[in-house]
Chain A
Amino acid sequence: MAVDHSDSGQDELKAGPRYIVNPWVSFLREYGPIPQNNNMYDESIQRVTRRTKVQPLQFDTGDILDRIVADLNADHPRSVLLTGTAGDGKTYLCREAWCALGGKRAEWDTDAKVKRLRIHNRKKLIVIKDLSELGGSDYKYLERMADSIVSEDPEELFLVAANDGQLVEAWGRTKTSEAVTRVRQLIEELLVGDLSEKAGYGLRLHNLSRTDSSELMAKILVTVQEHVGWRGCEGCLGQTNDVRYRCPIWENLSRLRDSVFTDRLGKLLRLSDQDGYHLPIRQLLILSSNLILGAPSAKNGLLQCRDVPQLVDEKRTGEASIYRNAFGGNLSPDRRANTEVFAVLGRFGIGDETSNQIDNMLIFGSDDPKLISTFDQLVRTDLLYGASSQFLAHQAGYLDGTDRSEIEEFLDILPSARQRLFFTIPPTDVKRLGLWELTAFHFAGEYLDEVLVPLRTGERPSRLILDRLVRGMNRVFTGILVSASRELVLTSSSSYSQSRISRIQEHSISVDPNRGEKVAFELLKERPCLAVHLDRDHKVPLLLNLVKYEFLSRVADGALPISFSRECYEELLSFKTKLLQKWQSLRRTYGEEDPASEREVTIRVMQLDQKGMLVQNPISVKL
């Protein structure tokens, strides 16, 4: 559909490039958050592939496929169990493994729930691509699998894929034999303990929900950008640089090349991983598709080529802002909440959270001489999604302040402006503008850059950060606004260790190394933690994640422990209890605990003086 602009002198138009319809774009929609039966995702993609002859997205799943094949082909082969949540790519991997081991595609495409194959080392391989499909009599395969796993030289090998919940349930339903009981126990151990194998058992468990979402997303984005399907856009009017005719789909695609954008997105994903919110491949594909095609007025919230001319004509290109799409802003609140990736990214509150500095700039930036240069640099340069004519009009309307509806209209578009800023503030301005105050986690940037990264490269995070965390812990432990950070105080209230206010100091642990005591950042099985060393041989680790880090930092800065996260508060009180337990048992072991022989007792009661400094009032009593 060509656009008529009889008043403009644009040569391009007179010559007649029009908006093209590219079937690849329609195909890309299939990956997006359109309502469909989740279980059939892979199958429906396959179906559309066959029908339209478009190449589906194919990307490198890392070396998992190689490892699966190696395990099954080895001299001492192991059965393989693939687990994870829906959308982790289990079916995909099973199929790829089947083909890599010599299986025929045609055979795979049949309906059979249990497939058999003879593989290189002459063993029989039994593949179950979805455990939930098994019916009553098929459960005998699980019994056989159990036998295979516990035997030294199994005749049959198994490749099974299942969600972890189904896994546990299915084994619960299998007829009990000694092998089944042992294997059920084994699987539970592996799942809950995050392990992949145990000596003496011929099984390898791959938990696909333990992958690094940000790495995977980076691969997906590259694959999407480089897909041949985009060639179908060549010659389309939308590829012009003139913002009056620019196609939002093409614009979003090119913005994917912006490293600041992909870097920020990667950070959000890595931080979500940290907090235990794993996003499977399917969800990342949904995100990718939504980033490029999202627009609230389109059908199902995703653009098709034929929607573009009208959108552009009505100057509503800004609706397709890639920055808003990142959070599902193009979808209804219900669908957003029910789509995992947007629920997870929504945790950061980007769009709603803000600071005075940022909002001042967004609201008064056009006018105020102090803010103009920042506004120009950060907003005005982006004519499509930043200082679009729509934005500027609403901003003026708001400042004018007379019309109630104009005020509300501006407030309605502020969130997307904030979302855009999150992805575009240049690295050099991150500190000055307080980038992370645009999220619910003000300390997230610091957590990533100054704790996680140093730890992974073998360095130590700064002492200031350690001090802050220790101070936060002390405040939670005692319930008082102490500022002590040289030592970790273990307190109780004489009767209970978990009282909200515990003033009696039982013990204190030096943060600086002192005769085996210390408090330090460490890595525990690849996860960052704060380790409290009670002596040279005994330590108790506190696993860190973003929420806990934020919690402790905020409490150290003065927030009430209950206010940010109830869960963190409880966790830290439990941690204190663990420390006290450990310390008491150590004292017993070393024979230091002999109350009968105590002649004098000193009770250290903690109080704050007028300046807020910790003062200990010892009560000395002769017994």
Chain B
Amino acid sequence: MSTELQRLPRPASESIDSSLWVDEAIWGHRLYDEQVPWLTFLEFLTVLRGEWRNDRAFKEPNGPNHLQYPTQHFLYLRNVLFNNPTLSRMLVLHPDDDTRWSNWISDMSKRASGVDPKDFGYLKSRFSSMEDFVALVELLRSTAIEGSSNKRWTSKFVFPYGPHCLYEDLRLERDGRASNDRRFFARTGEILYLMLCRSGLGEELIQELRPLVLDENTRWNRLVHLLERSTSEGEVQNRQRSAYLPYPQLPAFKKLAEDWLALLRLRMPGYDVFPHLVDMVGVHLVLYFLQRASEWVHKKPKLTLVLEILAPKRTTIRDLAAETYLENNLLSRQAIQKFIDREIVQTDDWRLAKGSSDSFGNAAKVVYERVLWKAVEGDQRGYVGQQTPNALIENLREAVAKRHRQHLANIHSQYSRAIGLASKRGTRTLRYAPTDLLLKTLVFATVPNRMEFQTFLELLHERYCFVVGHRQARQFIGTGASDQRAFEENAKRLELRLSSLGMLKRLSDACAYVQNPLGASQ
């Protein structure tokens, strides 16, 4: 029951913009469906960079939920990479470098946006030929995050090779003013950052992350920085409001940090570890989202995700995977209503207000106090509907549900799909069916060297609530929803998949070991 979980006080009402504070009370401010795990990771990196520069990495020196960090814009770099469609044409249209450069520079002086002065001449001296310049730009575009999407160009991101590659998502007005409209950097990265702050493993994390993402001297970071004008403004101090993470402590925070540390310590070459870190972000945010919901909905919080290891034809496992997916998808919607029940309707304050002479007015006050519903603020001018406590609650429920549907309700489906946890492959309904990359991530993060297969299945269940084999599926076998054989075959398919990925060694029919090919003794 969530009331047993210690929750931090919400921010002062003046600093809250939202029209309602229900989603945020349960999950924090905020999780956002359009900020997919990669973008969450990028936002996280910008936060980390800023805090690290101020010697505060993974610490909350001003107390919890007081996060303010400097960011970077690098608009010259971004114009060159993503607002520059005519670049390669220059090589074709003009015969010699001088003409190419002068044409391009003049083109950019008209097209570029968000920078002043619009002078890109500084690039000419940094490259021995325009061909080299074009080749570099094309290389960087090929590895960009969201590079080929149809998002606005200010929401495209160069690969995070180092601190000079980290900038915040921006919206540019016509007059060139830039602001973070929180469209794609919607603070989920900040939530991630706060979770890691509170994991208790901040020191270890910064030690592993520093050489990877905060080292200015890495070759690719320096290459990217070449494209930015040296006199551009450096850091931008932000007077933004802080993100809000309701929980000072949760075992989930530590688990996420542990998984990240396990991955980082494998010392994969280059930046290979990033997609795995991102996958883990997705996994843990999904679990966080569902677990908080479960705490409000179930008497004893319980979460199950049945994973179908892709089978050529339909099995009872597929049905269960779809069922558990569906159940989980509906959890949050139920949770917010339970929240209303317990935080308002079932309280003494509410009963008193209902029984009082100005029942509506007092009820409205209770509602505003609990969930900051703007519609009933002050003189309730924003409220439309019958002015009775019951109608008030009904309208509140509707407003809460509607707001939740817009974004937060989609977190489970969006994130699960983004990290390859859920898919429609081979069928028409969404269900849990992990991809190879996700399976690799799970093995890399949880198997330091070698682990007996059944132990691995048990670990997946205990750590992530994943059900694959029959020993963890007793609740389904007991009720006849499926049988032991089906789950055994599901586990067998997992063995085959892991084996084809080079991550399983079979000794005999009864005995198999999951192996981490990058692990210690390999």
Q: Is B63 an interface residue when CB atoms closer than 8 A count as contact?
A: no
CB distance from A497 to the nearest CB of B (A): 5
B303 on interface, CB distance cutoff 8 Å: no
User: Which of chain A's residues has its CB closest to B506's CB?
Assistant: A276
Please state if A165 and B502 are interface contacts (CB–CB under 8 Å): no
B126 touches A622 (CB 8 A): yes
B269 and A497 within 8 A (CB):
yes
Alpha-carbon gap, A493 to B140, bound state (A): 10
Verify if B179 is at the interface (C-beta below 8 Å from A).
no
Please tell me which stretch of A230-238, A444-452, A471-479, A613-621 contacts chain B, meaning at least 4 of its Cβ atoms lie within 8 angstroms of it: A613-621
A168-B452, A621-B226 given; A496·B502 CB < 8 A: no
On whether A496 and B135 interact (CB within 8 A), knowing A601-B223, A621-B126, the answer reads no
Task: Find chain B residues with CB under 8 A from A580 CB.
Answer: 269-270
Q: Would you call B12 an interface residue if the criterion is a C-beta within 8 Å of the partner chain's C-beta atoms?
A: no
A7 at the interface (CB under 8 A from B): no
Interface stretch (choices A19-27, A221-229, A430-438, A570-578) = A570-578
Cβ contact within 8 Å between A192 and B450: yes
Are B128 and A620 in contact, CB atoms less than 8 angstroms apart?
A: yes
Does chain B have a CB within 8 A of A85? yes
- Residues of A within 8 Å of B99, CB to CB, are none
Question: What's the Cα separation between A427 and B43 when bound, in Å?
Answer: 67
Contact B518 A577 (CB under 8 A): yes
Q: Interface digits, A580-598 against B, CB 8 Å rule (1 contact, 0 not)?
A: 1100110000000001101
**Residue contact A601 to B222, C-beta cutoff 8 Å:** yes
Closest-CB distance, B517 to chain A (whole angstroms): 5
Please provide the chain B residues from 7 to 40 with a CB less than 8 Å away from any CB of chain A in the complex.
none
Is B202's CB within 8 Å of the partner chain A? no
A617 close to B135 (CB less than 8 A): yes
Contact B139 A570 (CB under 8 A): no
Once the chains bind, are B518 and A621 in contact (CB under 8 Å)? no
Contact A495 B136 (CB under 8 A): no
- Say yes or no: A574-B270 contact (C-beta < 8 A), given A164-B511, A494-B220, A601-B223: no
Q: Which of B143, B268, B500, B507 contacts A191 (CB 8 A)?
A: B507
Alpha-carbon gap, A587 to B271, bound state (A)? 17
Q: A595-B217, A596-B217 are in contact. Are A619 and B135 (CB under 8 A)?
A: yes
A567 to B518, CA, bound (A): 16
Nearest A residue to B515 via CB reads A192
Question: How distant is B219 from chain A, measured CB to nearest CB, in Å?
Answer: 5
Does B407 sit within 8 A of A, measured CB to CB? Answer: no
Which of chain A's residues has its CB closest to B501's CB?
Answer: A570
A574 touching B517, Cβ below 8 Å: yes
Name A165's contact: one of B139, B226, B509 (CB within 8 Å): B509
Q: How many residues of B are in contact with the other chain, CB < 8 A? A: 41
Instruction: Let me know if B510 and A621 touch, CB within 8 A.
Output: no
Q: How far is the CB of A601 from chain B (nearest CB, A)?
A: 6
* Contact A605–B135 (Cβ < 8 Å): yes
Q: Which of B127, B139, B219, B500 contacts A567 (CB 8 A)?
A: B500
* B359 interface contact, C-beta 8 A: no
Give the dominant DSSP class at B's interface. Answer: mixed
Binary contact readout B223-259 vs A (1 if CB under 8 angstroms, 0 otherwise)? 1001000000000000000000000000000000000
- Indicate whether A581 sits within 8 Å of B269 (C-beta atoms), given known contacts A192-B507, A494-B220, A574-B517: yes
Cα(A194)–Cα(B33), bound, Å: 50
Q: Evaluate contact between B505 and A85: CB separation under 8 angstroms.
A: no
- For residue B3, CB closer than 8 A to chain A, the reply is no
B507 lies within 8 A of A581 (CB): no
Residues of A within 8 A of B269 (CB): 492, 497, 577, 580-581, 584
* C-alpha spacing A434/B7, complex, angstroms: 75
CB distance from B104 to the nearest CB of A (A): 17
Nearest-CB residue, chain B, relative to A207: B507
A208 to nearest B CB, angstroms? 11
**Are B127 and A496 interface neighbours, CB within 8 A?**
no
Please tell me if A498 contacts chain B, counting CB pairs below 8 Å.
yes
* Most chain B beta-carbon contacts within 10 A, residue among A165, A574, A619: A619
Task: Compute how far the CA of A605 lies from the CA of B132 in the bound complex, rounded to whole angstroms.
Answer: 11
**A13 at interface by CB-CB < 8 Å:** no
Shortest Cβ distance from B497 into chain A, in angstroms? Answer: 10
Give A619 to B222 CA distance when docked, in angstroms.
Answer: 14
Instruction: Report whether B517 and A621 are in contact in the complex, using a CB–CB cutoff of 8 Å.
Output: no
- Would you call A492 and B270 a contact (CB within 8 A)? yes
Contact partners of A192 in chain B: CB under 8 A: 450, 505, 507, 513
* Complex Cα spacing A20 to B133, Å: 90
Please indicate the chain A residues that have their CB under 8 angstroms from the CB of B475 in the complex.
none
Say whether B316 faces chain A, with CB atoms less than 8 Å apart: no
Q: Which residues of B contact A504 (CB under 8 A)?
A: 139
The answer to whether B159 has its CB under 8 Å from any CB of chain A is yes
The residue of chain A having its C-beta at the shortest distance from the C-beta of B452 within the complex is A168
- Report B-chain residues with C-beta under 8 Å of the C-beta of A169: 510-511
Interface residues of B in 134-168 (CB under 8 A from A): 135-136, 139, 142-143, 159, 161
A165 lies within 8 A of B507 (CB) = yes
Q: Which residues of B contact A570 (CB under 8 A)?
A: 500-502
Contact residues in A for B222 (Cβ distance below 8 Å): 595, 598, 601, 623
B499 at the interface (CB under 8 A from A): yes
B residues 378-418 near A (Cβ < 8 Å) are none
Residues A494 and B509 in contact, CB atoms below 8 Å apart: no
Q: CB of B218 within 8 A of chain A? A: yes
Q: How far apart are the CA atoms of A164 and B510 in the complex, in Å? A: 8
A504 to B138, CA, bound (A): 13
Are A165 and B223 touching (Cβ within 8 A)?
no
CB neighbours (8 Å) of A34 from chain B are none
CB proximity of B376 to chain A, nearest CB, Å: 51
Q: Which residues of A have CB within 8 Å of B507?
A: 164-165, 168, 191-192
Among B219, B270, B500, B505, max chain A CB count under 10 A is at B270
Q: Is B54 an interface residue (CB 8 A)?
A: no
Q: Which of A495, A581, A595 contacts B143 (CB 8 A)?
A: A495
**6 A-B pairs closest in CB distance:** A165-B510, A165-B511, A596-B217, A580-B269, A164-B507, A495-B143
Cβ contacts A to B, 7 pairs, < 8 Å: A85-B509, A168-B511, A192-B505, A209-B508, A603-B139, A603-B223, A623-B223
On B, residues with C-beta under 8 Å from A are: 126-128, 132, 135-136, 139, 142-143, 159, 161, 217-220, 222-223, 226, 267-272, 274-275, 450, 452, 499-502, 505, 507-511, 513, 517-518
